[in-house]
Amino acid sequence: MSQYNSENISLTDRIISSASYFTAGGAGFIWIIIVAVMRKRMSSFLMYHVFQSIFLSILYFVIVQLCKFTYIILYRIPLLNAIPYYINMPIPMFFGYSIVQAFTYTIMLYLGITSFIGLYSYIPWVSDIINQNTGRK
C-alpha cells in the first residue's frame, strides 16, 4: 500500500487528523460527536486517521497493561528483574527518554506529521484493519 497525497484534502481535515494523533484520539472523538450532531459526513481521509488514532490509543493501553503484568512477574525472578529497568532506563542519546518512550514518540510524530501533510499514514496490521473497517479497501 502506498501513501499518496490528495490535493482536495482540506486544511481542517489535516489539522484535526494530526491533532487526533497528538491527543490520543481525543480531538478526533470530539470531532466525531460534532459531525454527528451537525448530521454531516466526515471525509474518508479524516475518518481513516481518526479511527486509526483511537485504535492505536486503545492498543497502546492494552499493551501497557500487559507489560505491567509481565513486569510484576519479572521483578520476582532474580536474574530477570533487571530487564524492566533496562527497557525503561533513561538514555542520554535519546534526550533522557527510554527506548520505549523514544519509540512511542517517534511513531506519534510520524503519524501526526504525515497526516498533516495529507498522506495516509501506514502502520502494518493496524492500517490494514482500519482500511477494512472504513471501507477504504
Sign of CA dihedral 40, 43, 47, 53: negative
In this prediction, residue 7 carries a pLDDT of 62
- pTM for the predicted model, two decimal places: 0.85
Report the pLDDT value the prediction gives residue 2, as an integer from 0 to 100: 44
Q: Output the pLDDT for position 4.
A: 56
Q: Residue 62: is it exposed, middle or buried by C-beta count within 10 angstroms (0-12/13-18/19+)?
A: exposed
pLDDT of amino acid 1: 43
Residue with cell 454527528: 36
Assign residue 2 a region (left: φ > 0; alpha: ψ between -120 and 50; beta: otherwise).
Answer: beta
- All residue ranges of the chain with pLDDT < 70 are 1-7
Please state the domain extents for the chain.
11-134
Residue 136 phi, psi (nearest 5):
-80, -20
